Structure 1
Amino acid sequence: MTGQPKSRVLDKGLWGMSAPMLVDQAVTFTIPLTDMFFLSRISDDAAAAVGAVSPLVFAGNTLLMITAFAGSSIASQRIGAGKYETANATIMAYVLLILGLAVLTALAINTGGAQVAGWMPLSEAVETHAVVYLGIIGWMVAIWGLRAAYQTILNVYGEPKWNTVSNFIFFGCNILGNSIVIFGLFGVPPMGVEGVALASVVAIFCSFVFTFTIVHWHLGLRLPFRQGLKEFRALIKPVLRIAAPASLEPVSFNIYMIVLNWIVAGVGDLALKVKVYTFNTFLFCLMISVALSMATEVIIAQRVGRGEFDEADRQMRQSLKAALWGTGLLALFWVLLNQPVLGIYTDDPAILAYGLWVFVLAFLSEPARTVNIVMGAALRSTGDAAFISYTTIAVIWLFSVPLAYILTIPMGWGIYGVMTAAIIDESVRALIKWWRWRQRKWEHFGVAAYEAREAKRREYASRAR
């Protein structure tokens, strides 16, 4: 272990960790806005097509990111207990796992995406754009997952500032690539939706190479490949105990978003375009809650590893309060500027006419969505992932999907029906998470507590024999 880096997470605290993460997420969530701008230069149909199938891309990204965060939570708990050697072996194991999942996810999106687009009631022009985009974008998802694994390493060791630089590289390369393929710069012929997808793949690859270099050359971290491979099953077991149930919730949510797009597409292309533009605009509000949740996740994991449960509880409440204020103010800003914002994408008066009330409904869903993000991350970081995942899936598919369909189609509320259902869905799930946290059962789900129970079980079994 001589010369290996030490974690600085608890020394930096919430604001020291979250400040660079906030810039990081601001860049990350600007990317969908810029992509939507470039796609709208092609046509509103192109923007609607990519927006309609983007939840499939988000589902793939989320699966890989949740696995990375689950692994980093276990590694952080190991570091909190002072077990750096085991923590680094855990990091090696979850990087190997994500590598395998990344390839499978890319193949699934590239080959199966066309079928998903075909199932949706899209117009022929919109479906054509969607199929072209999905045939390429899977490789962006795969590289994104590998980058996420390396970004969690930097978070675990208290160096999130490098993730900000990585995202600036992604953002800059993405802007340059899109400009080249959309406007035909440097003699390159305009490539439409295909070019946008290729630009994303190249941009994320450049970003990953930078992050990889920082971890291994600047930070000087040496991951024990042989130990990670040899002890893979034992090391990955506690990771999967979090990742398997935890990934069900966000993946299920993104499938839910595909279903909502399917319902909206049934209303018509106009409603779909309005929903896509609004959703991508309000994605930017997530930068605050996601940044704070990422910092909180690492801090709470190390607190739990130390057995400092009251400090973990105070940290969650501090983070949630900050996230609610920040997200609420940003969402209000979007509501006040609804017409200029929509005007960036389109000059279609029919789309602009929806502006105010659609943005107001999106604003009303933000507080509950913030609670879901911050508290979901906090619960996952402690190892208490199964309950919230299963209850979330039950709420979405037994309540929220039927409600969205009824309000939108039979009751004739159109786009307003889907967005009203989203407010109710986020609120119900937020209440469940809050109730679960206050029960404090998460105190008994940490890796140390789990391993202590397993040791007692084995001891009891050996005595029984």
Structure 2
Amino acid sequence: MKSAPKSRVLDKGLWGMSAPMFVDQAVTYTIPLVDMYFLSRVSDSAAAAVGAVTPLVFVANAFLQVSAFAGASIAGQRIGANDYLRGNATIGAYSLFVVVLSLIAILGVNYGGPVVAGAMNLSNAVEGYAVEYLSLIGWMVGFWGFRLIYQTILNIYGAPKWNTFSNIIFFTVNLFGNVIAVYGFHSFPPTGVTGVALASVSAAFCSLLFVASAVHFKLRIHVPIKASFAQFGILIAPVLMIAAPAILEPMSFQGYMMVLNWIAAGVSDLALKVKIYTYNTFLFCLMISIALSMATEAIIAQRVGRKEFDLAHLQLKQSLTMSLIGTTILASLWLLFNQPILKMFTSDPDVIAIGFWVFLLGFLAEPMRTTNIIIGSALRCTGDAAFTSVSSIAVIWLFSVPLAYVLAIPLQLGIFGLLIAAVLDEGVRAIIKYYRWKARKWQKYGVGVKGQAHSS
């Protein structure tokens, strides 16, 4: 009889885990750039419309991603302690949870999204494109949620390369779908924004089929769904302790992005276009910090499960250092080539004219954003999610949003005011997370520590 597969996370280490994740994230964050490029071929208004409502899609995606990764953190801690029985049962429990959330996300984006777009301060042309896109893209979010279940299983077992292959499939299908949507193909006429949305939906479905096949047929990882369902309440409780507060921060941040888009639209169509092009371009810089944060989460979760707290701390320092170096280099290239990059998406001379200063502010935000991502994900995977989430939400809505409005409207700094506020927002939240990790309160939150406390 073939033995059950074992996790290879600690054997592979940071580089073994993160190397395929770099490719994975490079593909992931190229997708918004590809979509933006093809939408800009339809019109600047189409690109601005989809960019303006993209935070709503990110909210739904973050809702699913945080839930899946919270479950993976608990499962990873148990597997790190060599408790594969409860670890796999935990995978089954959070899988059931994420499936339900994915179905809710489909309905929420497809039917609630157009309502949100109608409430934004968009011009008629931009609003029309936004509603057209949102009425379909919820299916992509749902399929992406199902895919996250398999993605986390592959990460827990130290096999992230399959996620990379699935993202390459996503990118390829999405690229060809965009080409057909914008330029047509033989007897198929161009379908514009609707076609771009359907391309993303089709790509998400194809990548989901691939990772499901990898887990079930290649690696033959068995998830005990019946046992997970029978013990669902017990198994999901520690997951919710991480997920409930952790969900609030990315949702709050994407809500903040929508408010910034609303303010930008109120300033002018030019401000909205510049904000969208800059933000989506700098999303590509996230591939390094996201890849390292995913690898770091998997490693730290297992270190905490083994109560190897000093090794967990050293891992965080190594990951943060490497991420800061990588994102700074990449952001520097973006700043250096700001003009050619913007000319890929638009020929509007007003947008191109202010490109350097807008990209400079985007560049200044990157080190703080990287710190937020790396330390924030490390805190979440240890179980210490509540403080950082609450503090981040407080900073965003009590400091950053009012500051953005005051700088952009009363002080008439426009797009520059919005981006200055964004830099300060990332900086304040990064400082809070840094000192929270340094205080080492996260050592008290692991399931192994709590279990030991309850048994004593």
Q: TM-score, normalised by structure 2?
A: 0.99
Question: Structure 2 counterpart of 1:115, which letter?
Answer: V
Correspondence for 1:313 = 313
Question: Structure 2 counterpart of 1:249, which letter?
Answer: E
The answer to whether the 8 Å contact 1:73/1:301 transfers is yes
Is 1:385 paired with 2:378? no
Residues 362-377 of structure 1: pairs in structure 2 closer than 5 A: 362-377=362-377
Q: What SS does structure 1 have at the residue aligned with 2:82?
A: coil
Is 1:99 paired with 2:99? yes
Once the two structures are overlaid, the 10-residue window that deviates more, 110-119 or 413-422, is 110-119
Q: What SS does structure 2 have at the residue aligned with 1:284?
A: helix
Correspondence for 2:43 = 43
Structure 2 CA distance, aligned partners of 1:114 and 1:13? 44
Is 1:396 paired with 2:396? yes
Correspondence for 1:257 = 257
- 1:259 Cα shift? 0.5
Residues 14-93 of structure 1: pairs in structure 2 closer than 5 A: 14-93=14-93
Correspondence for 2:239 = 239
- 1:225 Cα shift? 1.2
Structure 1 CA distance, aligned partners of 2:370 and 2:194? 34
Structure 2 CA distance, aligned partners of 1:237 and 1:425? 32
Correspondence for 2:193 = 193
Structure 2 CA distance, aligned partners of 1:63 and 1:221? 25
Structure 2 CA distance, aligned partners of 1:229 and 1:2? 26
Is 1:295 paired with 2:292? no
For each residue in 1:68-111, what CA deviation from the matched residue of structure 2 results, as whole angstroms up to 9, or x when unmatched?
11011001000110000111110011111000000101101111
Structure 2 CA distance, aligned partners of 1:191 and 1:169? 22
Structure 1 CA distance, aligned partners of 2:186 and 2:276? 31
- 1:448 Cα shift? 1.1
Question: Structure 1 counterpart of 2:283, which letter?
Answer: L
For each residue in 1:296-329, what CA deviation from the matched residue of structure 2 results, as whole angstroms up to 9, or x when unmatched?
0000000000010000000000000000000000
Structure 2 CA distance, aligned partners of 1:142 and 1:284? 23
For each residue in 1:379-429, what CA deviation from the matched residue of structure 2 results, as whole angstroms up to 9, or x when unmatched?
011000000000000000011000000000000000000000000000000
Residues 113-192 of structure 1: pairs in structure 2 closer than 5 A: 113-192=113-192
- 1:451 Cα shift? 2.3
- 1:147 Cα shift? 0.5
Structure 2 CA distance, aligned partners of 1:248 and 1:186? 47
Structure 1 CA distance, aligned partners of 2:24 and 2:354? 31
Correspondence for 1:441 = 441
Question: Structure 2 counterpart of 1:322, which letter?
Answer: M
Structure 2 CA distance, aligned partners of 1:264 and 1:433? 29
Q: What SS does structure 2 have at the residue aligned with 1:222?
A: coil
Structure 2 CA distance, aligned partners of 1:49 and 1:454? 52
CA gap of 1:363–1:455, structure 2 versus 1, over 3 A, is same
Structure 2 CA distance, aligned partners of 1:146 and 1:452? 34
Structure 2 CA distance, aligned partners of 1:355 and 1:187? 39
Structure 1 CA distance, aligned partners of 2:390 and 2:9? 31
CA gap of 1:113–1:86, structure 2 versus 1, over 3 A, is same
Structure 2 CA distance, aligned partners of 1:42 and 1:425? 34
Residues 260-275 of structure 1: pairs in structure 2 closer than 5 A: 260-275=260-275
Correspondence for 2:3 = 3
Q: What SS does structure 1 have at the residue aligned with 2:271?
A: helix
Correspondence for 2:215 = 215
The answer to whether the 8 Å contact 1:25/1:291 transfers is yes
Once the two structures are overlaid, the 10-residue window that deviates more, 177-186 or 67-76, is 177-186
Structure 1 CA distance, aligned partners of 2:94 and 2:401? 33
Structure 1 CA distance, aligned partners of 2:4 and 2:132? 46
Question: Structure 2 counterpart of 1:153, which letter?
Answer: I
The answer to whether the 8 Å contact 1:180/1:186 transfers is no
Structure 1 CA distance, aligned partners of 2:101 and 2:454? 28
- 1:454 Cα shift? 3.5
Structure 1 CA distance, aligned partners of 2:2 and 2:85? 11
Residues 281-292 of structure 1: pairs in structure 2 closer than 5 A: 281-292=281-292
- 1:10 Cα shift? 0.3
Correspondence for 1:280 = 280
- 1:2 Cα shift? 5.8
Correspondence for 1:463 = none
Question: Structure 2 counterpart of 1:55, which letter?
Answer: P
Correspondence for 1:460 = none
- 1:453 Cα shift? 3.1
Question: Structure 2 counterpart of 1:136, which letter?
Answer: L
For each residue in 1:107-140, what CA deviation from the matched residue of structure 2 results, as whole angstroms up to 9, or x when unmatched?
0111111111111111000000000101010110
Structure 2 CA distance, aligned partners of 1:214 and 1:3? 17
Q: What SS does structure 2 have at the residue aligned with 1:285?
A: helix
Q: What SS does structure 2 have at the residue aligned with 1:185?
A: coil
Structure 2 CA distance, aligned partners of 1:3 and 1:308? 27
Question: Structure 1 counterpart of 2:334, which letter?
Answer: W
Correspondence for 1:426 = 426
Correspondence for 1:203 = 203
- 1:186 Cα shift? 3.5
Correspondence for 1:350 = 350
For each residue in 1:350-389, what CA deviation from the matched residue of structure 2 results, as whole angstroms up to 9, or x when unmatched?
1111110000000000000000000001001100000000
Q: Give the gaps of 5 or more residues in structure 2.
A: none
For each residue in 1:35-65, what CA deviation from the matched residue of structure 2 results, as whole angstroms up to 9, or x when unmatched?
0001001000000000000000001001101
Structure 2 CA distance, aligned partners of 1:353 and 1:414? 15
Q: What SS does structure 2 have at the residue aligned with 1:367?
A: helix
